[in-house]
């Protein structure tokens, strides 16, 4: 199978078996990986339920995140099997940060998602999709094949006056700044302090605190939610 459309439709068919999964393809010419891979397929799997500040339970949010992560892994692994069968090189970049100091992953799923046109980055530094708001789990696979790429989203669609996420953070880590594609993470949020605070959970619970109050307080996506 070599025709670009055939490959694209086969991959799309794999993803569309999962109705709550959004996907897009990013031009990754901005990335060091571009010397080896032509594009990134980015997926966003919605949580199975809308959690808000009113029904927030940390353990339940953690479960929703884990469930969505499992589904992401399954989809990406099925796309990888397809690539292998068709002799297409691929790489699944790890989500984990390469350094505990910089807390920067080798390939940002979030930045690839905005480049694929899946959404924008909210004042809370999360990807915000039109359909599900920030209640999605992201994953990506780099593919050495030319697939039709999406139109990057370069500006925030957060309402200028919206401060739900800013007010939801108990530690005031969110600065209330509207994102655009040239903004750095630290201009939006004190990510290091957020990470440190959530890591305090590790000793007692064996995992970070999901927290996510800045996620569950976001009104985006509520009206179009359908799983």
* Footprint on this chain of ligand SF4 (rule: CB under 6 A): 122-124, 128, 158, 162, 164-165, 168-169, 171, 173-174, 189, 194, 197, 211-214, 217-218, 220
Give, in order, the Cα–Cα distances in Å from 203 to each of 199, 207, 222. 8, 8, 35
Q: Which of 82, 173 has the CB closer to ligand SF4?
A: 173
* Residue 173 near residue 189, CB atoms below 8 Å: yes
| CA atoms of 18 and 153, how far apart (whole Å) | 24
| CA atoms of 46 and 51, how far apart (whole Å) | 11
Whose tokens are 């200028």? That residue is 160
Output the smallest distance, CB 205 to ligand SF4, in A.
Answer: 15
Torsional sign, CA 108, 121, 115, 22: positive
Phi, psi (deg, nearest 5) at residue 56 = -70, 125
Q: Which of 42, 165 has the CB closer to ligand SF4?
A: 165
Output the smallest distance, CB 155 to ligand SF4, in A.
Answer: 12
Output the smallest distance, CB 222 to ligand SF4, in A.
Answer: 11
Enumerate long-range contacts of 8-12, CB under 8 Å, 24 or more apart. Answer: 8/147, 8/148, 10/82, 11/41, 11/79, 11/82, 11/147
Output the smallest distance, CB 105 to ligand SF4, in A.
Answer: 17
Output the smallest distance, CB 66 to ligand SF4, in A.
Answer: 16
Q: Which of 79, 211 has the CB closer to ligand SF4?
A: 211
Output the smallest distance, CB 214 to ligand SF4, in A.
Answer: 3
Cα of 214 vs its chain's centroid, Å: 15
């Amino acid at each position: 199978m070599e025709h670009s459309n055939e490959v694209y439709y086969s991959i799309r068919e794999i993803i569309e078996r999962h109705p709550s999964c959004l996907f897009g393809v990013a031009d990754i010419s901005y990335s060091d990986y571009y010397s080896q891979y032509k594009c990134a397929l980015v997926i966003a799997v919605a949580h199975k339920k809308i959690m808000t500040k009113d029904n927030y339970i940390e353990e339940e949010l953690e479960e929703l995140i884990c469930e969505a992560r499992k589904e992401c892994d399954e989809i990406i692994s099925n796309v990888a099997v397809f690539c292998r069968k068709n002799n297409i090189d691929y790489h699944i970049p790890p989500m984990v940060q390469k350094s505990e100091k910089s807390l920067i992953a080798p390939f940002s799923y979030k930045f690839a998602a905005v480049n694929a046109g899946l959404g924008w980055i909210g004042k809370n530094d999360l990807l915000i999709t039109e359909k599900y708001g920030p209640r999605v789990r992201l994953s990506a696979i780099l593919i050495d094949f030319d697939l039709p790429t999406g139109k990057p989203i370069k500006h925030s669609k957060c309402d200028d006056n919206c401060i739900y996420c800013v007010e939801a953070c108990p530690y005031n880590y969110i600065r209330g700044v509207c994102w655009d594609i040239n903004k750095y993470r630290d201009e939006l949020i004190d990510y290091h302090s957020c990470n440190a605070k959530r890591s305090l959970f590790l000793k007692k619970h064996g995992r970070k605190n999901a927290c996510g109050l800045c996620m569950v307080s976001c009104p985006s996506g509520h009206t179009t939610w359908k799983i």
